[in-house]
Amino acid sequence: MDSIKTIALVAHDNRKQDLIQWAEFNYKTLLRHKLVSTGTTGKLVEAAIKDKLGVQGEEFSILKLKSGPLGGDQQLGALICEGKVDLVIFLWDPMQPQPHDVDVKALLRIAVLYNVPMACNRAAADFMISSPLLDQPYEPVIKDYSAYMGRFGV
């Protein structure tokens, strides 16, 4: 990982406002990094940060994928597999069933598989965003899963 990280932002409907508030509070730190997000969340967070920046925010943008239920979670998972995402802030709703629950579980699984740090609540997001590792190069240890390949018919 370079000193400039690619940070993914994702939030379920009941947690979008929490993520917006978190992003507004941390916008100065977030501006030092590249941001990618699922569609609706990205639009909302981008608008909130642009409001904080005023006229200077005209050039600010977040790479917006499709909405989660329309494949955005899978797109984000693919970016993680390609090594293009350094950390994920995913405020998911543990009390509300999601119509795309299998996609959500796949995203959580792939982040763990590729040793990508993931915050699933605001406290963890606060710890990650304030880590001294955020603004410096970091080389995560990637587990070798090649021994599993024969078990899965690959």
Assess contact for 36 and 79: CB atoms under 8 A: yes
Q: What would the DSSP string read from start to end of 74-103?
A: HHHHHHHHTT---EEEEE--TTS--TTHHH
DSSP, collapsed to helix, strand or coil, labels residue 113 as: helix
Assess contact for 125 and 22: CB atoms under 8 A: yes
Strand ranges of the sheet holding 34-37, from the earlier edge strand across to the other edge: 63-64, 34-37, 6-11, 87-91, 118-119
Catalytic residue among 51, 73, 101, 144: 73
73 tagged catalytic: yes
Distance CA 131, CA 152 (A): 37
Please give the positions annotated as active site.
73
